[in-house]
Amino acid sequence: MTSAAESANRSAKQAADSQPFKVGVRVGIGAYGVTHLLIALLALQVAFGNSGERADQTGAFQDLAQQPFGQVLLWVLVIGFVAVALWRLSQALWGFGYESDSKKKLRKRATSAGNAVVFVVLAVLAGRTAAGGGGGGGGKQGATAGVLGLPGGQFIVGAVGLGILVAGIVKIVQGYQKKFLEDMSTPTDRHARQTLERTGQVGSVAKGITIGLIGVLVVIAAVRFRPDEASGLDVALKTLAAQPFGPYLLIIVAIGLAAYGVFSFFDARYHRV
């Protein structure tokens, strides 16, 4: 049994190190960039008064599906997202051998495990849209309603919301400090490196803000005992747009999300895979 497990472990590592797999990973990271550019465009539409579109991943995939060859492009995204999810899982298990600090290595592996889940969700959403089933929308609210109905459910949902808010703040701080460069082989060209750093900083801060907004909404839902208020990115951005000067703030966030999309293209090229 031990020998079979070791053999399977070796085979998995070899597959993760193969060139076709690495190409798939880079396609998936680039697809993540495309997703953010589409979300930024949808957010701008919300900022200018068109609130009919969903300004989140589902809305981005639905918008893409309506374009020429959109279905084909969506399946390409699915393949890329699955590749990234498997790569992140391999990182969680064996990755970051170049990191000498054991605590930092453990933290990076835990982050990779979380990222693997994110890309599985993206793959499912893109796959459903490509298959013509839409992306769904009530999952978060249904899950929140179920948890709120449990003993101590308000505290659980509130704690989850605080966790999401903290994750957003961490993303902002790490983005500002350019922590993303630690896992990249940066370009030697000075202008390319500067563009990478600036888009990474601006994009990470904007992404952290959106994550933080979702966390705030989840906390509010727990306090008010209203699961309908605990939703995702679409509601967070539209809630921001409804505030005083909200459309202007949303435009800034949209520009930041677009910057993160551009950064993801650099990441696809220079990330250590």
C-alpha span between 173 and 205 (Å, rounded): 8
Q: How many other CB atoms are found less than 10 A from the CB of residue 159?
A: 14
Q: Under DSSP, is residue 139 helix (H, G, I), strand (E, B) or coil?
A: helix
Q: Containing domain of residue 145, as a range?
A: 2-270
Residue 137 has pLDDT above 70, yes or no: no
pLDDT recorded at residue 206 = 92
Q: What is the CA radius of gyration of the chain?
A: 19
167 in Cβ contact with 215 (< 8 Å): yes
Q: How many other CB atoms are found less than 10 A from the CB of residue 140?
A: 18
- pLDDT tens digits for range 95-133: 777 777 888 888 889 989 989 999 999 999 999 998 886
Total structural domains within the chain? 1
Q: Under DSSP, is residue 184 helix (H, G, I), strand (E, B) or coil?
A: strand
- pLDDT tens digits for range 170-187: 999 999 999 999 888 888
> In which residue are the tokens 């449990």 written?
150
User: Range with the lowest mean pLDDT among 38-52, 167-181, 200-214?
Assistant: 38-52
> In which residue are the tokens 């699915």 written?
78
pTM of this structure: 0.80
